Amino acid sequence: MKSKISCLTTAIFLFSLAAFAQQPANSILMTIGNEKVTVDDFLAVYKKNNNKDGTPLDKKSMEEYLNLYTVFRLKVKEAKDMGIDTSKSFRDELSGYRKTLAQPYLSEKEVIDNMVKEVYDRMHWDIRTSHILVKLEADPAPEDTLEAYMKAALISDFITKELNPAGLKKYETTVRTNLKISKTSSPADTLAAFNKLSSLRNMMKLKTHSFSHVAAAVSDHPSKTAGGDVGYLTGLTGQGFPYEYENIAYSAKTGVLVGPVRSSMGYHLIQVTDKRAHKELHVAHLMLQFKKGMSKDDSTKLKAKIDSVSGLLKQGDNYEDLAKKISDHKETGKKGGDIGWLSISSNFPPDFKDAVFKIHEDGMVSPPVQTRFGWHIVKRLGTRELPAFDSLKADIKTKVQQDARSLVAKEKMISKIKMQYQFKEISKRHTDFYAVVDSTISMGLWTVSKAKDLTKPMFTLLDKTFTQQDFAAYIEKNHRLVARISPRRIVDALYKKFVDESCMNFKESRLEQEFPDFRILMDEYRDGILLFNLTDQKVWTKAIKDTTGAKEYHEKFKEHFMWDDRADASIFSCKDEKTAEKVKKLIRQNKSDMEILSAINKDTVKYVSVESKVYFKGESPMLDAANWNIGVTPNESIKGKVVFANIKKVVKSTPKTYAESKGLVTSEYQAWLEKEWVDSLKKKYPVSIDRKVFDSIK
């Protein structure tokens, strides 16, 4: 069967219905059943596919296209009359295509394009940052957000030596209030308050205000063990940090403390520690690996060995040969140590990258470098700059659309939709759900029935009203099992998502009426799918499954499936003329090919070989030169061998069996079925073409 995508694409290309709903009334060119087609209908499609450059119309080409177009309209009309476009499978398939086709209309293209350019500009720089994180859970309560901000601000004050005892006391009061600490509080609540306050108290005891020491004392991020250092950012390779963090990193001055900065992770205090122009290096390494449980003596010997290798390289020994011989990193060792290209933000140990970027010329070799994996000697092989924007644009755009920063574009799109469709919120009626959404929502047991009395309108988009019952259904369908989050916070979060999705869905539902090109594209896909499904049913799959019909077709048209003349021959390749004469003598004795090989080849010495099969004309120049006359052909010298053929018999053209010609039979049977089907459609839906009107087209 034909590929569905291929057939669908072909149908859309050939039979675009671009202007059907747009063309004004015109002279009727033809009628198909009760469907009328105007000159403008036909010309719009013809010109789109055959006359894009505006050259004069070609009557012969138009005539051919008119036939194709007529057949297409017949098939689509039949599919619609059969109700294929109302089936669930058809609607689901078209809906899937629609979602894909709708995406460009549901995104802020300008915002995305600006972000793509922004990423490329940032890729020219490698930014090293350190940070301190005050962590926040997803969808935090307002009191938790305030508490986290207060803590981040106090840490910032300490680093800048602006001690704030009053602020610390206020923070402690806030923590105790949020946790409802009193004399009767449980030990667990009291311990929670102590843990929240202890890190700040420990910070206040520090004798230094350095960023790294403070990070080690108070940060909620694993980088605290490195004094807050998170390495280098390079455009999109942001070490998993949010877009807000990246924005600060690329705008802050080196050494200046920035923050508190809010992101999805919490509040950050950020310090840029280095900024350098981006560069990629092609490098190789020779490695001696640390073995597990190495003794001190073994470590000393390994260091002596790497020093010895370094000495050999200084004396002029070949780096690649040494890497192949002694490197413990076998994958790169067999390639002379070649690692490939890396940048300062690549996932390699910092000590290794530092050594790489200290090498200033191609071909230079580093002194021994120690990492947690072992000893390395690194060689710089080459350097390259960032490729041109156009060569990276498509890849960057894909990554941007998959990155969290795409949410910025989505928010702008939703704001635009609200303005375009006059979004009006009727009070804050989602707060009515505070009374009906209880702890069952965290267990996945909440249902619409709990909100049966909530029926008020919540907001409108143009003349469409979204009610509390709509929101209740959304809650039931979309809430997830969430622990340690109050039902009130869940309602707030779901309401925002409900509004956002309602806006996007409303926009999507209006694409056909707002964008004629989208409506045209959907018409093309709709008719293309109809054409494929019906043709598959009537022709392609039927021809494959209808074995009886295919066999009958084969029997009726045997002359279509004939073997060409064939020659049963053996081509011998002999060591020399003497061997060739021995072979020919055995042929005259009517010996078989196997008997000839057994008689001449001795043990492991091969004096002659043979290829025996049925040959077709044009397959063997040697047989063709002999005019396929039965017998032995003259000797030829080919690649140092004496070669000749023994033509045993010639088989004249005969019909192929059904099994031998099944593929070709199926193909012809499909064509026959389609012709019969089209003929029946023309009888069912009479086609009338006004030749005077057609001839008048210029």
State the burial class of residue 51 (Cβ atoms within 10 Å of its Cβ: 0-12, 13-18, 19+). middle
3-state secondary structure of 561: coil
Q: What is the DSSP letter of 227?
A: T
* Res. 188 pLDDT band, cuts 50 70 90: confident
Q: What are the tens digits of pLDDT across the range 137-153?
A: 877 878 888 888 988 99
- Distant-in-sequence, close-in-space partners of 673: CB < 8 Å, separation ≥ 6: 538, 539, 542, 543
183: phi then psi, degrees, rounded to nearest 5: -65, -25
Least confident of 13-22, 381-390, 451-460: 13-22
- Cβ neighbours for 390, distance < 8 A, ≥ 6 positions apart: none
Please give the pLDDT value at position 642: 95
Average pLDDT on 489-508 reads 93
Quick one: pLDDT band at residue 483, thresholds 50, 70, 90? Answer: low
pLDDT grade for 23, boundaries at 50, 70 and 90: very low
Judged by DSSP in three states, 210 sits in: coil
Query: What mean pLDDT do residues 554-575 have?
Result: 90
What is the pLDDT at residue 61?
84
Going by pLDDT thresholds of 50, 70 and 90, the confidence category of residue 669 is confident
Rounded to whole angstroms, how far apart are CA atoms 426 and 459? Answer: 5
**Pairing relationship of beta strands 338-342 and 369-371 according to DSSP bridges:** unpaired
**491: exposed, middle or buried (C-beta count within 10 Å: 0-12, 13-18, 19+)?**
buried
Q: What tens digit of pLDDT does each residue of 86-98 get?
A: 999 999 999 999 9
Tokens matching residue 332: 């790169």
Report the range of poorest mean pLDDT among 42-51, 280-289, 580-589, 650-659: 42-51
C-alpha span between 521 and 519 (Å, rounded): 5
**The pLDDT of residue 15 is above 50:** no
Tens digits of residue pLDDT in 633-662: 999 999 999 999 999 999 888 888 888 888
Higher pLDDT, 223 or 161: 223
- Average pLDDT of the segment spanning 463-468: 96
pTM for this entry: 0.61
Query: Could you tell me if 131 and 226 are in contact, meaning their C-beta atoms sit under 8 angstroms apart?
Result: no
Q: Stretch 458-480: mean pLDDT, rounded?
A: 93
Sheet of strand 28-32, all strands in order from the earlier edge strand to the far edge: 35-38, 28-32, 687-689
In terms of DSSP H, where are the helices of 82-141? 88-102, 109-122
pLDDT, tens digit, for every residue of 352-364? 988 998 998 999 9
Number of CB atoms found within 10 A of residue 49's CB: 15
> At 211, which helix (H) or strand (E)?
helix 211-218
What average pLDDT is seen over the chain? 86
DSSP annotation of 252: S
Triad 660, 661, 666: Cα angle to 5°: 140
pLDDT of residue 106: 86
CA-wise closest residue to 658 among 550, 572, 568, 581? 550
Helices (H), 510-566: 511-514, 516-535, 541-545, 547-556
- Dihedral of CA atoms 516, 521, 526, 532 in degrees, nearest 10, equals 160
pLDDT category, 55, cuts 50, 70, 90?
A: low
Q: Is the pLDDT of residue 19 over 70?
A: no
H-helix or E-strand containing 289? Answer: strand 280-289
Domains of the chain: 1-81+516-561+661-698 (1.10.4030), 124-277 (3.10.50.40), 280-384 (3.10.50.40), 421-511 (no CATH), 566-651 (no CATH)
User: Quick check: helix, strand or coil at residue 683?
Assistant: helix
The pLDDT value recorded for residue 589 is: 94
Are 628 and 650 within 8 A, CB to CB?
yes
Q: What is the pLDDT of residue 508?
A: 94
- Structure confidence at residue 278 (pLDDT): 87
**Residue that wins the pLDDT comparison between 472 and 19:** 472
Taking 60 as the threshold, does the pLDDT of residue 49 lie above it?
yes
pLDDT band at 237 (very low <50, low <70, confident <90, very high): low
* CA dihedral angle for residue 614, residue 616, residue 619, residue 620, rounded to 10 degrees: 60
Higher per-residue pLDDT: 384 or 236: 384
Determine how many CB atoms are found less than 10 A away from the CB of residue 563: 16
Q: Which amino acid is at 549?
A: G
Q: What percent of the chain has pLDDT over 90?
A: 43
Position 174 pLDDT exceeds 60? yes
Supply the pLDDT for residue 21: 33
Ranges assigned E (strand) in 423-530? 424-425, 457-461, 464-467
Residue-level pLDDT at 24: 38
Residue 468 or 176, more confident = 468
Q: What is the mean pLDDT of residues 660-687?
A: 89
CA separation for the pair 286, 326 (Å, rounded): 8
- Residues 471, 475, 477, 478, CA torsion sign: positive
**Rounded CA separation 585/599 (Å):** 12
Q: Is the backbone peptide bond immediately before 260 cis, with ω within 30 degrees of 0?
A: yes
Inter-CA distances, 657 with 332, 553, 562, 614, Å: 57, 12, 9, 17
Check if the beta carbon of residue 268 is closer than 8 Å to that of residue 131: yes
Q: How confident is the model at residue 204 (pLDDT cuts 50, 70, 90)?
A: confident
Q: Is 336 left (phi over 0), alpha (psi -120 to 50) or beta?
A: left
Counting residues of the chain whose pLDDT is more than 70, the rounded percentage is 94
> Is the per-residue pLDDT at 529 higher than 50?
yes
Cβ neighbour number for residue 684 with a 10 Å cutoff: 12
Which position has the higher pLDDT, 604 or 454? 454
Q: How far is the C-alpha of 511 from the C-alpha of 519, rounded, in Å?
A: 7
Lowest pLDDT segment from 166-170, 180-184, 337-341: 180-184
pLDDT at 165 over 90: no
Q: What is the pLDDT of residue 303?
A: 92
Collapse the DSSP code of 269 into the 3-class scheme (helix H, G, I; strand E, B; otherwise coil) and give the result.
Answer: strand
Whether the predicted pLDDT of 561 surpasses 70: yes
Most confidently modeled range among 18-22, 158-162, 380-384: 380-384
The one-letter amino acid code at 553 reads Y
Tell me the torsion sign for CA atoms 476, 479, 483, 487: negative
Question: Cα 421 vs. chain centroid, distance in angstroms?
Answer: 33
Asked if 178 and 172 count as a contact pair (C-beta separation under 8 A), the reply is: no
pLDDT at 4: 53
pLDDT at 623 over 90: yes
Question: Rounded to 5 degrees, what angle do the CA atoms 661, 666, 667 make?
Answer: 105
What is the average per-residue pLDDT within 400-423?
88
**Sorting pLDDT into bands at 50, 70 and 90, what band is 500?**
very high
Whether 464 and 477 have beta carbons less than 8 Å apart is answered as no
pLDDT higher than threshold 70 for residue 51: no
Closest Cα partner for 669 from 538, 539, 513, 562?
539
DSSP helix/strand/coil, 124: coil
Distance of alpha carbon 325 from alpha carbon 313, whole angstroms: 14
Q: How many residues belong to the chain?
A: 698
